[in-house]
Amino acid sequence: MNQFIFIQSGEWDIILTIKFKWIHSLRWKLLVTYMVLSFLPLMFFSISVYNTLEKHYIQERKAELQRQVNIMAGHIVVTGYLKESTIEQKQLLYSDIQQTSKEIGARIMIVDSKGIVKNDSNKVDIGKTIVQKEVLDALQGTDTAYKQPGSDIIHAVASIKDDKTQEIIGAVIFSTSVEDIYISLKSVQKQLSILVILTTLIVGLFSFYVSGVLIRPLKELLQVMKKVTEGHLDQQIKVKGKDEIAQLSLAFNHMSERLLEVDNSRQEFVANVSHELKTPLSSIKVLSESLLLQESLPEEMYKDFLMDITSEVDRETEIINDLLALVKLDRKDMTLSFENTYLNKTIQDILKRLHPLAQQRNIDLIYDSRRDVYARVDEMKITLAISNLIENAIKYNKENGIVTVILDADHQNAFITVQDTGIGIPAEEQHKIFDRFYRVDKTRDRMTGGTGLGLSITHRTILLHQGSIKVISEEGKGSTFVVRIPLH
Ligand code: ADP
């Protein structure tokens, strides 16, 4: 029975991919490019050198033959050949023709005014008529040297004129082979070809080596990137030199650091969330357990404990609400409902709402609204963001302190400044306050009831509005937050 081996088309694909994978490599592409770039100009150079040499030698040979044929034509005129000449004169001319023919290695033919061959050093064409254009031209008075394309023989023709009447009575033709020129040119051509091939090979080898050196760091980069893709985020590449590849490696290192930071902060965030959510729960557990353990407690105590439990539940709710707000702001598909908003009124309303909180601590709220400002914002989100800033300015203020809110704008941006005379933020903490759950003083800030998420929400909201926020603060003297929001 016959046995067949079936190769499925998919397998062919694999075989072809393996076989021709190298074609797609940068090294191969560079190699081919450099080889072509060196081969083509060298090739053109060789061809042009060959053509110039050929033209030069052939031209030289033609001029020489023309000189010789002219001498011979003069000589023929003197002997009176083709007219009346003595037998001796004819004999003398014949031997002269034979000798010259031998000396310069040329065939010599003499034709009369009708183109009939009267003398031929090869003796084969005597009596035949020559109808070659150049010979006919010579019989009309135009002497030329020429070479028929494809043949290795050049000819020179000179007219013979009657020395008295100046009438053309015939022509003399010299023909000689230029094979020797082509033999020399062939050797030049061979040497040029060797030069082209050798140079191309050397360029090929050199570019193979150089592209290898250039591509090595890219390969390393690729390897490391694959590792990062697999989840090993702590990858760094050794940066050598300052070229583009070094810059790429540097950029990769930064990216990988950033990725690690993001990963760490994500883990930290999850840990913080768990911790923050656990704290009120632990308090609730402790409070309810102590209620259970104590028998027959006065009603007052029950009420006290239950109030504490309620405030812990409120806190838990507050954290969850803030977290949900942040998660919403983080979503990629988050859309803001932009509306043309009269910011003066928005801030006025916030201040009205926070007035009781300020009053509790006897803090003055000053509103400096410098001009009418309309901006395209998501009013609900911006209200929350600005409220957080003003709430903080009240919370982290001193008794009898002042909170000043300034609203101003230029042609492009609205500026909202929230200034307080409070406790301030230490310089080394200032860049961290926008981080999630970050609180400068954990114990004290917890007493003020913050979740550590307020500024993160504000920051994120301002970024979503393409704006910016910065903080200027001095410990013990107060803080100023400046928010910039583009008007359009
Ligand atoms: P919280 O809910 O704890 O107020 P925030 O994210 O709003 O959280 O603020 C983070 C931390 O930044 C606060 O815990 C506080 O330590 C500090 N902070 C924010 N605003 C001010 C301010 N106006 N003055 C002093 N410290 C501030």
What pLDDT digit, counting tens, does each position of 290-301 carry? 888 888 888 898
What pLDDT digit, counting tens, does each position of 353-379 carry? 999 999 999 999 999 999 999 999 999
What pLDDT digit, counting tens, does each position of 139-173 carry? 998 999 999 888 899 999 999 988 888 899 999 99
Between 3.50.50.100, 1.10.4080.10, 3.30.565.10, 3.30.70.1170, what CATH number should domain 335-486 receive? 3.30.565.10
Residue 467 CB-density burial (10 A; 0-12 exposed, 13-18 middle, 19+ buried)? buried
Q: Is pLDDT of 445 > 70?
A: no
Separation of alpha carbons 263 and 271, rounded Å: 12
Whether the CB of 450 sits within 6 Å of ligand 1: yes
Taking the domains of the chain in order of start, what are their residue ranges? 27-183, 244-327, 335-486
pLDDT for residue 446: 57
* CA of residue 458 to ligand 1 center, whole Å: 11
Whether the CB of 422 sits within 6 Å of ligand 1: yes
Whether the CB of 58 sits within 6 Å of ligand 1: no
- Mean pLDDT along residues 171-193: 95
pLDDT for residue 2: 44
Whether the CB of 322 sits within 6 Å of ligand 1: no
pLDDT for residue 145: 94
Q: Is pLDDT of 22 > 80?
A: no
Whether the CB of 390 sits within 6 Å of ligand 1: no
Which one is predicted more confidently, 10 or 98?
Answer: 98
pLDDT for residue 1: 43
Q: Which two tokens stand for residue 105?
A: 């290695």
pLDDT for residue 12: 60
**82 DSSP assignment:** T
Whether the CB of 478 sits within 6 Å of ligand 1: no
Separation of alpha carbons 302 and 299, rounded Å: 5
Separation of alpha carbons 80 and 94, rounded Å: 13
Q: What is the mean pLDDT of the chain?
A: 89
pLDDT above 70 covers what percent of the chain? 93
Q: Which two tokens stand for residue 103?
A: 């000396």
Q: Is pLDDT of 27 > 90?
A: no
Please check whether the domain covering 27-183 is classified as CATH 3.30.450.20.
yes
Strand-pairing partners, residue 145, are 156
- Mean pLDDT along residues 102-106: 91
- The region of weakest confidence among 127-131, 438-442, 462-466 is 438-442
What pLDDT digit, counting tens, does each position of 392-407 carry? 999 999 999 999 999 9
Which one is predicted more confidently, 22 or 480?
Answer: 480
Q: Is pLDDT of 4 > 60?
A: no
Cα dihedral: 214, 218, 223, 228 (round 10): 150
Q: Is pLDDT of 94 > 50?
A: yes
Residue 440 CB-density burial (10 A; 0-12 exposed, 13-18 middle, 19+ buried)? middle
Ligand 1 atom 7: residue of nearest CA: 454
Q: Is pLDDT of 483 > 60?
A: yes
Q: Is pLDDT of 3 > 50?
A: no
Separation of alpha carbons 49 and 44, rounded Å: 9
Whether the CB of 458 sits within 6 Å of ligand 1: no
Tell me which residue has tokens 């926020």. Answer: 469
Please check whether the domain covering 244-327 is classified as CATH 1.25.40.320.
no
Residue 232 CB-density burial (10 A; 0-12 exposed, 13-18 middle, 19+ buried)? exposed
* CA of residue 284 to ligand 1 center, whole Å: 25
Q: Which of 392, 429, 451, 458 to mutate to test the pocket of ligand 1 (most atoms within 8 A of CB)?
A: 392
Ligand 1 atom 12: residue of nearest CA: 433
Confidence of residue 48 (pLDDT cuts 50, 70, 90): very high
* CA of residue 401 to ligand 1 center, whole Å: 16
pLDDT for residue 20: 62
Task: Provide the 3-class DSSP secondary structure of residue 160.
Answer: strand
Whether the CB of 393 sits within 6 Å of ligand 1: yes
What pLDDT digit, counting tens, does each position of 240-298 carry? 888 888 898 899 999 999 899 888 888 888 888 898 899 899 999 999 998 888 888 88
Task: Provide the 3-class DSSP secondary structure of residue 109.
Answer: strand
Pairing of strands 364-369, 402-409: parallel
Confidence of residue 77 (pLDDT cuts 50, 70, 90): confident
What residue type is 226 in one-letter code? K
